[in-house]
Amino acid sequence: MVMPRSLLTPGRYPTPRSRCRSARGSLAAVVALSGAALLAAGVSPASAAPRVQVADLADSSALVMTAQIALKRDDCGRAAADYTAAARRLSDARVAERAADVALDCGQYQLAEQAAARWQQLMPHDPAPLHATMRAALGLYQIDAARTAFERWLQRSVAAAANGAGSARDHRGASGRAEPVTPGNAGDGGGAAGHIAQQVQQVADESGVAATLAMLRGVRAPPLQTAPGQLALADLALDGWNYREALQYAQRALSAGAARAPTQMVIARAQAGLGDAQQAEAAATAARAAAPKQQSFAYADVLLLLGHEREAQQAIETLVAADPGLKSQAQRRLGLIAFDSGDYTTAQKQFAALLGDRNSAAIAVYYLSAIAERRDEERTALRGYQLLAGTPLESAARMRAATLLFKNGQHEAALQLLSARNGAGPAARVEAEIAQAQLLSDGGEANQALARINDALARAPGHPDLLYQKAIVLEKGGHTDAAIAQLESLYKARPQDGSIANALGFILADHDRDLGRSQKLIGAALRAEPDNPVILDSMAWLDYRRGMARAALPLLERAFRLDQDADIGAHWGEVLWSLGEKGKAREAWTRALIADPDNTSVKSAEQRLGAPQLLAPGSGTSI
């Protein structure tokens, strides 16, 4: 059961997905490989490069050493620059590989592009350098260049597999490394056809869904035309908020012979997202018929996506009455339905009953802690969140615990809780800096948040996620002109990045600046992700600012159905209030406060409109 975005997402400006993974390799390994290059007088086993002067070799070895020292000091920019400079001087593919890895991990995508090119020069038949080239291009949001590298990566992977010459690093799929297409690691469908789904998911995990989906549009590589390839694209389009595109890929997957149950569930979810209840329910029924055991809750889950909570609850209760073995899965769903409706007493009972179920204990503890938090039972909430260390919910629990501590004035403890762990790589450190800056900004400490982001940028100059977050912090701190200037600079460098176009368009609309340009920006973002609730909300808010409240209303209703985000609920309530529908406005704000009891957008809307301030539901007995 997927947890509702309403509980786990940070709000209007979601942090871009990390495009990095940990820089691998120890200092000893890097020193060893640079030493080997020195002893070999610069001659790589992969190429008969000319001899390099001893002084140059000494300088190159020093660069490798200073790069590793800089990396240990969290100076990403210096580390990536020195590794890349060493790679240019030395004819050792391992140095070039390390340079590419570090630059990618540090968000230094132009340096990564250079290091990957050098690595490819030294290893012309290895697919791995092309994978790095693709990641660098995606990091720069250069979609055409990324597409070319992806196609070449696939071709070279197939060729390497056919020749039995895949590189050693290509077989480390479990650690996130690029894998060649081989019969031995193929999924359903065998060979390239089966493995393509893993490759698509790998790229999306590394570089983000939106960029990956944009890159794969128009790719005609044979593996992507197979049933597993089309199903992988359908899943990607679903995650990328493009439901009609997901339907097209899913239908092609069915025609190509894809497994019916998962493909029909993609169709069901896409149709539900589009609001076509009849088609969604029919596809869910087909999915369950194809795999009755695995898809027992298909119909009920689609009802939830359609916003038909009462019917979904009845369907779940009917299922468990017929098959008691489904009880724990049913209780998870019933608990979430109750939680999302603000019925914390019922939610508490459902989740408490799951504490003894090994597969459900973590999610039960999480929601019991969230219920305690909403009831102002802070010690109980914090104890529960602490219990989730080492589970898949640890990150979400740490964020909730940090927010609770910060709200109670324990700022240092809250920030420490969000700090990167000892030994964490550059990507994890950047994520931690962004999380801490968000916490400070949301807590009214915009100057401290900005100082933290600027410090991180000094160590990772030009990192797009940090630059984006800086713009958001500036806007929240009241520095509208500076925020717009920051986003304009980002947009100029990354005109195809929908998250930047949407953020810039929304800020322009929210501050009544150049509404015509705002419409163009938000419209461009919406064309790429036509079902993204955040972008739908931006377009609705623009309509509202232009005096078109009636046009905004259906967009907001749909956006909130897709994602129970409190900021969207705040806008929905304000538009309803402006239309004189005050009862419905209060209902929308109440639902927003259930999603986020401390949401400031709801309170701001109430104050602007002179509406009585609502209190979030939350009173009840202790858990």
- 58 belongs to a structural domain: yes
Residue 294 is predicted with a pLDDT of 95
- 26 belongs to a structural domain: yes
Domain hosting residue 251, numbered range: 219-322
Last residue of a domain, which of 302, 322, 342?
322
pLDDT tens for each residue of 13-44: 444 433 333 333 333 344 344 444 433 333 33
Residue 1 is predicted with a pLDDT of 40
Q: What is the CATH number of the domain that holds 286?
A: 1.25.40.10
- 472 belongs to a structural domain: no
Q: Strands, DSSP E only, in 208-308?
A: none
pLDDT at 460 over 70: yes
d(CA 127, CA 132): 9
Last residue of a domain, which of 252, 287, 322?
322
In this structure, the number of other CB atoms found within 10 A of the CB of residue 433 comes to 25
Instruction: Kindly state whether residues 117 and 244 are assigned to the same domain.
Output: no
pLDDT tens for each residue of 147-179: 999 999 999 988 777 776 555 455 344 334 444
pLDDT at 12 over 80: no
- 152 belongs to a structural domain: yes
Instruction: Kindly state whether residues 159 and 272 are assigned to the same domain.
Output: no
Count of the separate structural domains present in the chain: 3
Instruction: Kindly state whether residues 154 and 276 are assigned to the same domain.
Output: no
Intra-chain end-to-end CA distance of the chain, in Å: 23
pLDDT at 287 over 80: yes
pLDDT tens for each residue of 356-397: 999 999 999 999 999 999 999 999 999 999 999 999 999 999
Structure tokens at 124: 């012309």
Instruction: Kindly state whether residues 25 and 144 are assigned to the same domain.
Output: yes
Structure tokens at 570: 């705040």
Instruction: Kindly state whether residues 502 and 589 are assigned to the same domain.
Output: yes
pLDDT tens for each residue of 214-237: 999 989 899 999 999 999 999 999
Instruction: Kindly state whether residues 528 and 610 are assigned to the same domain.
Output: yes
Instruction: Kindly state whether residues 271 and 155 are assigned to the same domain.
Output: no
Across residues 117-125, what is the average pLDDT?
A: 97
> Shortest CA distance to 115 belongs to which of 132, 129, 134, 99?
99
d(CA 59, CA 595): 57
d(CA 400, CA 406): 10
pLDDT tens for each residue of 181-206: 333 333 344 455 568 999 999 999 99
Last residue of a domain, which of 267, 297, 322?
322
pLDDT tens for each residue of 80-109: 999 999 999 999 999 999 999 999 999 999
d(CA 584, CA 597): 18
Name all contacts of 241-250 with Cβ < 8 Å and 24+ positions apart. 241/529, 241/530, 241/531, 241/532, 241/533, 241/535, 242/213, 242/528, 242/529, 242/530, 242/531, 243/270, 243/271, 243/273, 243/274, 243/530, 243/531, 244/270, 244/274, 244/530, 246/270, 247/271
Whether the predicted model's global pTM rises above the 0.85 cut: yes
Kindly report the average pLDDT of the chain as a whole number.
87
d(CA 290, CA 279): 17
- 477 belongs to a structural domain: no
DSSP assignment letter at 387:
T
pLDDT tens for each residue of 433-457: 999 999 999 999 999 999 999 999 9
Residue 164 is predicted with a pLDDT of 66
Across residues 322-346, what is the average pLDDT?
A: 96
- 336 belongs to a structural domain: no
